[in-house]
Amino acid sequence: MLTTLAQYFDPPLRCFTFSNFQLGPTIEEFEQILDLPLSGTAPYKHVEQHGSMPMLARLMKIHPAELESIIVSRKGAKGFP
């Protein structure tokens, strides 16, 4: 069975790729791959407020001026490439 499954494993993606779907790692497996334990952390909750540039720069651990230099505007929306 393992020999059969091995032919479908895609090492760069770390998942099994079949003809019409991909079977990827579970959240627990991602914890091990990234060495980032998620136990005890709160899940992401979307809020209607948008982050300020200084707050985003602090979260990304870069200077606000550097953040301003990489932001782009396309069709009236600002974002990161």
| Spatial distance between the Cα atoms of 81 and 77, rounded to a whole number of angstroms | 12
Asked whether residue 43 is assigned to any structural domain, the reply reads no
pLDDT band at 65 (very low <50, low <70, confident <90, very high): very high
Asked whether residue 62 is assigned to any structural domain, the reply reads no
Task: Extract the runs of DSSP E, i.e. beta strands, from the chain.
Answer: 9-10, 15-17, 22-23, 72-74, 77-79
**Mean pLDDT computed over 19-31:** 80
Asked whether residue 71 is assigned to any structural domain, the reply reads no
Total structural domains in the chain? Answer: 1
Asked whether residue 46 is assigned to any structural domain, the reply reads no
Asked whether residue 21 is assigned to any structural domain, the reply reads yes
Asked whether residue 74 is assigned to any structural domain, the reply reads no
Domain membership of residue 8 as a residue range:
2-34
Q: Percentage of the chain surpassing pLDDT 70? A: 98
Give the predicted TM-score (pTM) of the model: 0.37
